[in-house]
Amino acid sequence: MNERTPKLLSTCDVGSAEVEACAPAAIPCSGRPLLSCSMPTAAQADAWRGPAKRPVPSAWRQLTVLAIAFAGCVCSAGAAHASDVTHRFLACGQETYIMDESGNKEWSYPHSTRDGFVLADGTVLLTLSKSKKYPGGAVVRIQANGEESLLWRGTQAEVNSVHPTAEGTFVLTEAGPKPRLLELDATGKTIQEFPLACQLENHHMQTRMARKEADGTYLVPHLLDFAVFQYGEDGTVLSKIDTTVAGDAQHAIHSWPFTGIRHDDGQTLVCCTHANRVVDFDSTGKVHWQLTNEDLPGEWLQDPCGGQLLPNGNIVVTSYAGGQKDPQAPKLIEVNRDKKVVWTHSDGQKHGIHHFQILSTNGTPLEGPVLK
Residuewise pLDDT in 10s, the chain (372 residues): 333 333 333 323 323 333 233 333 332 333 333 333 333 333 333 333 333 333 444 444 444 434 434 334 333 333 444 569 999 999 999 999 999 999 999 999 999 999 999 999 999 999 999 999 999 999 999 999 999 999 999 999 999 999 999 999 999 999 999 999 999 999 999 999 999 999 999 999 999 999 999 999 999 999 999 999 999 999 999 999 999 999 999 999 999 999 999 999 899 999 999 999 999 999 999 999 999 999 999 999 999 999 999 999 999 999 999 999 999 999 999 999 999 999 999 999 999 999 999 999 999 999 999 999
pTM over 0.85: no
Residues sharing a CB contact under 8 Å with residue 75, sequence separation 6 or more, in sequence order: 10, 12, 21, 22, 27, 29
Which residues have C-beta within 8 Å of that of residue 275, sequence separation ≥ 6?
A: 243, 245, 253, 254, 255, 256
Compute CA distances 123 → 19, 91, 96, 127, whole Å.
Answer: 52, 15, 14, 13
| Residue ranges matching CATH 2.120.10.30 in the chain | 84-365
Name the pairing type of β-strands 148-153 and 158-164: unpaired
Nearest-CA neighbor of 258 among 295, 220, 294? 220
CA atoms of 339 and 301, how far apart (whole Å): 13
pLDDT for position 83? 65
**What was the pLDDT predicted at 82?**
54
Contact 292, 305 (CB under 8 A): no
Q: Which helix (H) or strand (E) holds 192?
A: strand 190-195
Neighbours of 288 (CB within 10 A): 15
At CA 175, angle to CA 170 and CA 181, rounded to 5? 35
CATH 3.30.365.10, domain 84-365, yes or no:
no
Rounded to 10 degrees, the C-alpha dihedral 339/240/115/85 comes to 20
- Residue 188, C-beta contacts closer than 8 angstroms, at least 6 positions apart: 150, 151, 152
Per-residue confidence (pLDDT) for residue 29, from 0 to 100 = 32
Which helix H or strand E contains 184, and what residues bound it?
strand 180-184
Strand-strand pairing, 211-212 and 218-222:
antiparallel
Kindly tell me the burial class for residue 8, based on how many C-beta atoms sit within 10 Å of its own C-beta (0-12, 13-18, 19 or more).
buried
